[in-house]
Structure 1
Amino acid sequence: MGNYDLITILGPTASGKTPIAAALAYRLNTEIISGDSRQVYRRMNLGTGKDLEDYMVNGTPIPYHLIDIVEPGYRYSLFEYQRDFLKAYNEIIAKHKVPVLCGGTGLYLESVLKGYKLFDVPANPELRSRLADVSLEELTKQLTTYKKLHNTTDVDTVQRAIRAIEIEEYYLRQPTERRDFPQLNSLIIGINVDRNLRREKISKRLRQRLESGMVDEVRDLLKEGISAADLIYYGLEYKFLTEYVIGKLTYEEMFRLLEIAIHQFAKRQMTWFRGMERRGFTIHWIDGTLSLEEKVDEILNLYKKN
């Protein structure tokens, strides 16, 4: 077998990453670590596209990590993701297995593949108060003034933009030393889906998730006491569905704006992945229209070559 520490499966939303990762993990008798920034939240299932049924392959449950690990409303950080990833990674390799990292959150993936060395950034109440009434456009402009940008691909709400600025402000005031993170040698697989097919799959998936009760999922979270602002913070589905439930949008407006936002998000994901290639990562792109078996065979062939 190959000399890789890890196999990474990445791609834009609705590209079919999870079934591929699960089938690959089944063939290798290994486990999956999620690389998704929102699937960490419990009871946020349809809106985050967990598709937990995909982790059952030929009647065998595939073990997964970093899904359903914190409560909704909590602001899970990149620092925490690195910490939790490393714990899961070490648990899997202790079993003499090669973990499969699967997800579409570019910053999360790159933070572990490149070994970002980060601080646990605390809240800055004074900065949050000062920026509370600033528009998203102005916050995004401010974010671009920092030498080392925090992830801007997911900054689609005021709260997330403020948090990104909070992180950069903290780093400016810290010494250059960071905590250690191991260098991992990963085979990186990208799922390549034609733009038109990707748009078709996104729209179809959105309709299916709405029909499956995604609006009720948001209503239930609000009934639990999760604030509308906290749900909006998570962006995309939770932003627009919450605005619909609280009466800011009609159903038609919600669907139209959400569909556009997901298409834009998928485009930004691909921009991030192409940027990873420019930053020195080798991504082996495989045809997303191949059968599941063909895709897994292609990945295994690449894995065995190393």
Structure 2
Amino acid sequence: MKNEFTGESTVVGTASNKCMITILGPTASGKTDLAAHLAARLNAEIISADSRQVYRGMDIGTGKDLADYTVAGQAIPYHLIDICEPGTKYNLFRYQQDFLDSYEDIRSRGVLPILCGGTGLYIEAVLKGYSLSPVPQNPELRKALEDKTLEELTTMLVELKEKNHSVMHNKTDVDSCQRAIRAIEIETYNLTKPTEERQCPPIDSLIIGVDIDREARRKKITTRLKARLKEGMVEEIEGLLKQGILADDLIYYGLEYKYVTENLIGRLSYDEMFRQLEIAIHQFAKRQMTWFRGMERRGFTIHWVNAAQKMEDKVEEIIKLW
């Protein structure tokens, strides 16, 4: 296959015989930019693995950075971004379905898919081929849990996960009472009402991790947060509230949407919002890395590349592995 970007020929049926390349890493590691440059070299298409970038209109706060998908004037096709309305509750079950649709479409055209993102649960679910089923809401359970603290809910969730031998619902994705209650609802359903499993075959993928120095990551997170606030992140979230999206629904999404919304509705001052959000993003990045290291313990091979390398060197390193 000839690369329209470089004019060079690229062999997609590779010696590795793997079906996909996966690029993962913590927030602010530069994984999207790397995936786009790699896609330009390999005539590939990118499938997002981000639990919040699926929502339309939530652009600055989720860090879509859509400009990254253009490399030297070449637009890189991407999937699973802007696919549902803000205020709705997207979930792992839907993501697995949407991923498989995109993956099969890309492969059917003889194109290489690159999975890229930082939501470890989504990545692991599609690579390992989790068998999932839709779980209905349980009003009685929700009523019984509504007055419990996040700490109490987390303890209950840990106990349910142990019973289910589950690796779902890591702290990365359960950072509010709403999310914890939904996780308990799912784990309870799976424990008491086993459902017919969907057949979702595991996908053999070359997995690349973007390894960024802790201090460099912290500096980038702070710099990026300041930039996004200047770019209009508060105004973006204020606009979502004016559209009629409930504050609790935005708080459900966590991180930027949680803290900025709490500032806008008067629960936090601007300085408190900034300070607490900055800490929360640092903690989030740390939890992401904990998940990725856990993937390695669960049998995944992750090839780590140094984020500080020049872009062309990182791309070449991955192509050699491929």
TM-score (norm 2): 0.93
Out of 169, 189, 202, which is 1:151 matched to?
169
Cα distance in 2 between the residues matched to 1:183 and 1:210: 40
Point out where structure 1 has 5 or more consecutive residues left out of the alignment: none
Cα distance in 1 between the residues matched to 2:259 and 2:315: 35
- The one-character-per-residue Cα deviations of 1:75-120 (angstroms, maximum 9, x if unpaired) are 0110000000000000000111120000000000000011100011
Taking every aligned residue pair, what percent have the same amino acid on both sides?
64
The offset of 1:125, in angstroms, is: 1.6
Cα distance in 2 between the residues matched to 1:38 and 1:123: 21
3-state SS in 2 of match to 1:144: helix
Q: Does residue 140 of the first structure (1) align with residue 140 of the second (2)? A: no
Greater relative contact order (CA < 8 Å, ≥ 6 in sequence)? 1
2:169 is matched by which residue type in structure 1? Answer: N
Out of 66, 72, 89, which is 2:80 matched to?
66
The answer for the alignment partner of 2:10 in structure 1 is: none
The answer for the alignment partner of 2:9 in structure 1 is: none
Cα distance in 1 between the residues matched to 2:83 and 2:276: 30
3-state SS in 1 of match to 2:159: coil
3-state SS in 1 of match to 2:303: strand
The answer for the alignment partner of 1:213 in structure 2 is: 232
Out of 49, 73, 76, which is 2:63 matched to?
49
The answer for the alignment partner of 1:173 in structure 2 is: 192
Point out where structure 2 has 5 or more consecutive residues left out of the alignment: 1-13
1:81 is matched by which residue type in structure 2? Answer: Y
3-state SS in 1 of match to 2:47: strand
Cα distance in 2 between the residues matched to 1:122 and 1:103: 27
The offset of 1:176, in angstroms, is: 6.4
The offset of 1:156, in angstroms, is: 0.8
Number of corresponding residues: 303
Q: Does residue 279 of the first structure (1) align with residue 298 of the second (2)? A: yes
The offset of 1:174, in angstroms, is: 2.5
Q: Does residue 11 of the first structure (1) align with residue 30 of the second (2)? A: no
8 Å contact kept, 2:26–2:288: yes
RMSD: 0.9
Cα distance in 1 between the residues matched to 2:277 and 2:299: 33
Q: Does residue 232 of the first structure (1) align with residue 251 of the second (2)? A: yes
Cα distance in 2 between the residues matched to 1:175 and 1:130: 22
- The one-character-per-residue Cα deviations of 1:44-81 (angstroms, maximum 9, x if unpaired) are 00110000000011111111000000000110110000
3-state SS in 2 of match to 1:112: helix
8 Å contact kept, 2:210–2:306: yes
The offset of 1:132, in angstroms, is: 1.1
Cα distance in 1 between the residues matched to 2:95 and 2:110: 23
- The one-character-per-residue Cα deviations of 1:215-264 (angstroms, maximum 9, x if unpaired) are 00110000000000000000000000000000100000000000000000
Cα distance in 2 between the residues matched to 1:87 and 1:121: 21
Cα distance in 1 between the residues matched to 2:241 and 2:147: 24
Out of 199, 206, 210, which is 1:191 matched to?
210
The answer for the alignment partner of 1:254 in structure 2 is: 273
- The one-character-per-residue Cα deviations of 1:147-177 (angstroms, maximum 9, x if unpaired) are 2343122211110000100100110122365
Cα distance in 2 between the residues matched to 1:154 and 1:182: 24
The offset of 1:178, in angstroms, is: 1.4
